Structure 1
Amino acid sequence: MKALLRLLSRTKLYWGLLLICLVGALTSPHTSSGNNIFLSYGNLTDVLRQVSITGLVATGMTMVILLGGIDLSVGSVMGFSTVICAMLLTKPGWTTAAVIGVPAATLVSGVAVALAARFIFAGLARGRDVSAGRRREIALSSWRSTGLPGLLGLVVAIAVAWWTGNQVATKFGVLGVLLVAPCLALMLGAINGVLIVTGRLQPFIVTLAMMVSALGIARLTAGQDNAVVPVYTGTNATESFELLRSMLWGVLPVPSVFFLAAIVLFGAILRFTTFGRYAYAIGGNIEAAKLSGIKVAQVQLTAYLLSGLLAGIAGVLFVAQYRQGKPDAGAGLELDAIAAVVIGGTSLMGGRGGLAGTFVGVLIFGLLSDILQLQNIDSNVQLLMKGLIIVCTVLVQEQNLGQLIARWRFSRSPEASADPKTAESCRLPSAAKAQFAREDFDEAS
């Protein structure tokens, strides 16, 4: 019996998803032919398409929160990416988007290849973090560890500059915007990471400043007269961009493929790689992680880089789905992403959670919105219900609901009124109870 209860406790998130699906199936309206609208394949794929953008952002947010951080800038970064993507698709020549985007893609591509080559040729860096008192040790020669990776990075940077530069005169295609927009978002994420790591600033303050700054940059890039940059495939944009909103082999929406690929890839990274183990260790106890030789600064910087990168990809998918670029396209998206991550069981204190829970949390959020819309419930009531569900879900995930019920039941019992000291101890947290127990022991001694 205890084993069954433990199993139910570990899988309560999945039972919650099943319960929402059951409620949706039972309350869904039916078509004239008697088919259940909620369970129809078209409706389920539409839900998966709609949650893909939030899911990509939530994937990056999960890695940041696991480290005990937060990223409030992802919504504005995504909005900036939509503007860059829409302008590159529809405006030929050296516009503001091209002037910003081409050098950014060149720099990021070259540096990324150089770092990847250094990792391959030089092997894993060994030793403690510099801040812990010991420098890294690399066994291979300086040419293979520095010169060759730098040369490869330079070659790739020149190739990217030539390729993206040739697209400026004739508008960008699908591959072009999938390269440039995420690279720009990655650079904004890099600024977040550098300020947090080197400036030793709180992630909340840094990412809040970036949220405001990215929105301003997006509006300046779009121009004062362009609150929306429309994208019409086949007229002012290439017809091939329609690929990003189509169905892959008639089975899955292409945006959901990006989302599922991100969940699988980064889930495997967190589960099977050193980076993942370091992320959990840092979120659990950052001081202990530093003393054990973990390169805390590198892991934190990488997490914010990936968060920005995924927000940039989400921006391109937003343009494909809604056919427009808007500076405020991601307004409130950071809150939806954080809610999905927390519903999925990732602790805001860091060190606990994972992308499997985030995936379920994103689906719960999407299915709940779909159920409320099918019932034609007022949008304001939907917001209220979502807020209540978030609070209740977090209470269950943090295992605080049972404690609240136990306190309420005890406060109504005769024992509570007969012994005020016992009732007071039930309302105290465990740390305070331990302190009072030690004081009672000292008095008795």
Structure 2
Amino acid sequence: MLIGGIIFSPRRHGHILFLQTENVANIVRSISETGILALGMTFVIIAGGIDLSVGAVLGLASVLTASLFINQGWGLGSTLPLVIVVCTLFGLVQGFLSTRLRIQAFIVTLAGLQAARGLALIASNNTFININYGQGPGNAPPAFAILGERLLGDTFPVATLVFLVLAALATFLLDQTRYGRYVFAVGGNERAARLSGIPVRWVKISVYGLSGLCSGIAGIVHAGQFSFGSPNDGTGYELSAIAAVVIGGTDLFGGAGSMIGTIAGAVMLGALANILQLNDVSAAMQLLATGAIIVLAAGLQSLVGVRDGSSR
């Protein structure tokens, strides 16, 4: 993708626009929210599940954040923890329904997508909530505006810093802890994991809780970056998150994958979109290109699985 960006990037005064510092900053900013969603999605897919509700939960989180600040007059210390708890509980409920009632995760999270959108519409009264900063009723705390700012000479987005911190924590949790080994074991062979004494149900429920947690944080970041909350926020983000995970090499059947791969997949998607935008490619063609890459990545996974004798 880097080579392609250099080859196809427009030039200005002899400089490659794709490699300009401001453009690179735009790429990493654009992937921050979907990247955070993809971190939670990685746990879910490695454990053998899927979560289609993450984009809608992001929208719910952004609306709750804006509403509590503007309409209720709450501060940072009460608003942010509540939003994160609500979204985490939403994920845990989905995990519980899927695991305890033995309903396919696809169906449960598809219903969760609709439920989260409905809750966002109710919380916002089906209106766009603009976030104004200042003191007194009807204003959000000025400190919240930092999520929309940039560091290091106005080049490094704060939202990207949030993504990188969460990525480091997620990588440690997946690769260096007993819980991470449990997630791989459950996705690889659920029956063997259960016979080994692993609390399979708890693991399967908890990964959806992590996905809800990441969605809540992504929604807060979204509200901070754009200074508004809308029930339509996050539409289609679940597809970008799944695409990043798949492109990063995580097995859709579960049991294999890496957080580093997911991060690379998110960056690759962001770079692809940026290259197409720099060349004035239409939004429709951007979607087609993204879809083609997802199919290609899934096809390569299948091919590698067959060659390794591990195809299911």
Q: Deviations over 1:356-413 (max 9, x none)?
A: 100000000000000000000111111111111221222223335998xxxxxxxxxx
The one-letter amino acid paired with 1:287 is: R
Q: Note the 1:192-203 alignment, pairs <5 A.
A: 192-203=94-105
User: Which entry has the higher C-alpha Rg, 1 or 2?
Assistant: 1
Q: Deviations over 1:284-305 (max 9, x none)?
A: 1101110111011111121111
Q: Does 2:253 align with 1:253?
A: no
Query: Partner of 1:238 in structure 2?
Result: 141
What is the CA–CA distance in structure 2 between the aligned matches of 1:21 and 1:175, rounded to whole Å? 41
Residues 148 and 226 in structure 2, CA contact (< 8 A), matched pair in contact too: no
RMSD: 2.0
Deviation at 1:233, TM superposition (A): 2.9
What is the CA–CA distance in structure 1 between the aligned matches of 2:157 and 2:239, rounded to whole Å? 24
Q: Does 2:43 align with 1:80?
A: no
Which one scores higher on RCO, CA 8 angstroms, separation ≥ 6? 2
Deviation at 1:237, TM superposition (A): 2.7
Q: Deviations over 1:214-263 (max 9, x none)?
A: 11111011114x1x111133484332221111123446311111111111
The one-letter amino acid paired with 1:177 is: T
Query: Partner of 1:213 in structure 2?
Result: 115
Query: Partner of 1:67 in structure 2?
Result: 47
Query: Partner of 1:25 in structure 2?
Result: 6
Aligned to 1:398, what secondary structure does the other structure show? helix
Residues 149 and 225 in structure 2, CA contact (< 8 A), matched pair in contact too: no
What is the CA–CA distance in structure 1 between the aligned matches of 2:89 and 2:306, rounded to whole Å? 44
Query: Partner of 1:378 in structure 2?
Result: 282
Deviation at 1:86, TM superposition (A): 0.7
Aligned to 2:281, what secondary structure does the other structure show? coil
The one-letter amino acid paired with 1:302 is: S
Q: Deviations over 1:129-183 (max 9, x none)?
A: xxxxxxxxxxxxxxxxxxxxxxxxxxxxxxxxxxxxxxxxxx2344443222111
Aligned to 1:399, what secondary structure does the other structure show? helix
Query: CA distance change for structure 1 residues 243 and 196 in 2, over 3 Å: closer, same or farther?
Result: same
Q: Note the 1:40-439 alignment, pairs <5 A.
A: 40-92=20-72, 171-224=73-126, 226=127, 228-234=128-134, 236-250=139-153, 252-399=156-303
What is the CA–CA distance in structure 2 between the aligned matches of 1:430 and 1:89, rounded to whole Å? 51
Residues 343 and 397 in structure 1, CA contact (< 8 A), matched pair in contact too: no
Residues 130 and 229 in structure 2, CA contact (< 8 A), matched pair in contact too: yes
Aligned to 1:237, what secondary structure does the other structure show? coil
What is the CA–CA distance in structure 2 between the aligned matches of 1:341 and 1:24, rounded to whole Å? 21
Residues 79 and 326 in structure 1, CA contact (< 8 A), matched pair in contact too: yes
What is the CA–CA distance in structure 2 between the aligned matches of 1:172 and 1:430, rounded to whole Å? 53
Unmatched tracts of structure 1, length 5 or more: 1-19, 93-170, 404-428, 432-445
Moved more, 229-238 or 358-367: 229-238
Residues 47 and 370 in structure 1, CA contact (< 8 A), matched pair in contact too: yes
Deviation at 1:281, TM superposition (A): 0.7
What is the CA–CA distance in structure 2 between the aligned matches of 1:60 and 1:303, rounded to whole Å? 7
Aligned residue-pair number? 306
Moved more, 242-251 or 48-57: 242-251
Q: Deviations over 1:1-34 (max 9, x none)?
A: xxxxxxxxxxxxxxxxxxx111112221223x43
What is the CA–CA distance in structure 2 between the aligned matches of 1:248 and 1:182, rounded to whole Å? 25
What is the CA–CA distance in structure 1 between the aligned matches of 2:178 and 2:271, rounded to whole Å? 34
What is the CA–CA distance in structure 1 between the aligned matches of 2:132 and 2:36, rounded to whole Å? 24
Aligned to 2:49, what secondary structure does the other structure show? coil
What is the CA–CA distance in structure 1 between the aligned matches of 2:310 and 2:37, rounded to whole Å? 36
Query: CA distance change for structure 1 residues 297 and 237 in 2, over 3 Å: closer, same or farther?
Result: same
